[in-house]
Amino acid sequence: MRARLWAWKWIAVAVLPFGCYGQGAAVDAGYRIPAPVDVAPGQVITLFVRVPGKTVSGAVTAQAPLPAALAGFSVLLRQSFPSDPEAVPIQGAADYQSCSPLAPTQCNVVSMVTVQIPFDLTPNVPLSGVPQNSARLDISYQGNTATTLLLNPVTDRIHVVNGCDVLAGTSTAGCTPMITRPDGTQVTSLNPAQVGETLTMSLVGLGVPDQDVATGAASPQPAVTVSDVLLNIDARPNQSPGTPYDNAAATTVPANSVVLLPGAVGIYQLTFTVPTLPMGTPACGNSVRSNLTVSVGRATSYDGAAICVDPGSGQKPPDPTRRPG
């Protein structure tokens, strides 16, 4: 992934066993050589791990402080500096099985292991003059190494949590982004936001906050803030998230508007107010999938969410001083 130019849609990576000869496995598909996975300090991410011979087990979820081992899995972070291996806390583990209908029947059991990357991960900063930090995760099951995942440490790798993410613990049609009102209700196409409403967006991967927070621990109260976050709001239909860098409409998020969610592990929340829509903005429906796109960026990455706003709740007339064309 090129920093600032591409945002990951999924907060998960597939890691298959390297194993010995005779236990080979496909590790990826496409047109490019698989690259190390971009991760930021404190990133909550789901690893998809296939352990040969493993049968489907029930889902297990841990509470903070997160344990170093869960459901038979353990994960170690190894990096150039600091060089001491560090246990990676595990938030949850669950299995899913997929089978091919072709004869002979072939079934795969894949374990979904959600972890928090330690805040001690040393990110690589371009042009800093500091030696490159190499990092990897060693993933074990029942005390035996299952696989290794190579990492590219970055300062931030932003992802807006949505209903399709394993870490969300739910499933929503269309992978609806986790944007909620103060009463906890979620903004959807059937329950659009209103102009002037204060909404909260849930994210992971924003990197190091303004104060030290222990890895695997519940984020404290009062909430720890995160600075130097950029926000861009685009009130046009069907727009994809875009980079807030070098964008005249982008603004630095006000202090205390981005925080680590108290009581949660590695979940950030951004609070913003729905602006007045331009006159003539269409409502969601038919070919209009969204009419407001919120993009968030920090040092090296960005992501965002396209949502629906009720245009009847407030529109502004066109600027009479603006010349057409």
**Residue 281 placed within a domain:** no
Rg (CA), the chain: 21
| pLDDT tens digits along 38-52 | 999 999 999 999 998
How many Å is the maximal CA-CA distance in the chain? Answer: 73
Task: For residue 53, give its domain range.
Answer: 12-153
Residue 199 amino acid letter: L
Across-strand partners of 313?
A: none
| pLDDT tens digits along 122-145 | 999 988 888 999 999 999 999 999
**Residue 85 placed within a domain:** yes
Separation between Cα atoms, residue 147 and residue 134, nearest integer Å: 17
Separation between Cα atoms, residue 81 and residue 131, nearest integer Å: 10
Residue 66 in contact with residue 116, Cβ under 8 Å? Answer: yes
**Residue 101 placed within a domain:** yes
* The pair of three-digit structure tokens given for residue 227, joined into one six-digit string: 């600075």
Provide the domain count of the chain. Answer: 1
**Residue 283 placed within a domain:** no
Residue 278 has pLDDT above 60, yes or no: yes
DSSP string, 216-274: TSPPPSSPPB--S-EEEEE-STTPPP---TT-TT-EEPPTTSEEEPTTSSS-EEEEEEP
Residue 70 has pLDDT above 70, yes or no: yes
| pLDDT tens digits along 198-242 | 999 999 999 999 999 999 999 999 999 999 999 999 999 999 999
Residue 150 in contact with residue 160, Cβ under 8 Å? Answer: no
**Residue 197 placed within a domain:** no
Any idea what the Cα angle at residue 93 is, between residues 161 and 6, rounded to 5°?
35
| pLDDT tens digits along 78-98 | 999 988 999 999 999 999 998
- What's the pLDDT band for 314 if we cut at 50, 70, 90? confident
Residue 19 amino acid letter: G
* Cα 67 from chain centre: 21
**Residue 63 placed within a domain:** yes
**Residue 121 placed within a domain:** yes
Average pLDDT over all residues of the chain: 89
Report the run of H or E that residue 144 belongs to, with start and end. strand 144-153
- What's the pLDDT band for 19 if we cut at 50, 70, 90? very low
**Residue 101 burial (10 A CB sphere; 0-12, 13-18, 19+):** exposed
311: three-class secondary structure by DSSP: helix
Across-strand partners of 152?
A: 38
* The pair of three-digit structure tokens given for residue 125, joined into one six-digit string: 């900063």
Separation between Cα atoms, residue 160 and residue 236, nearest integer Å: 20
Half-sphere exposure of 189 (CA within 13 A, CB side): 18
| pLDDT tens digits along 210-220 | 999 999 999 99
168: three-class secondary structure by DSSP: helix
Distance (Å) of CA 255 to CA 12, 224, 270: 30, 11, 11
245: which residues sit within 8 A by CB, 6+ positions away? 4, 230, 297, 302
Rounded to two decimals, the pTM is 0.89
Residue 23 in contact with residue 57, Cβ under 8 Å? Answer: no
pLDDT at position 148: 94
pLDDT at position 2: 38
Nearest residue to 154 (alpha-carbon basis) of 131, 122, 181:
122
pLDDT at position 173: 62
Across-strand partners of 302?
A: 297
**Residue 322 placed within a domain:** no
- What's the pLDDT band for 324 if we cut at 50, 70, 90? very low
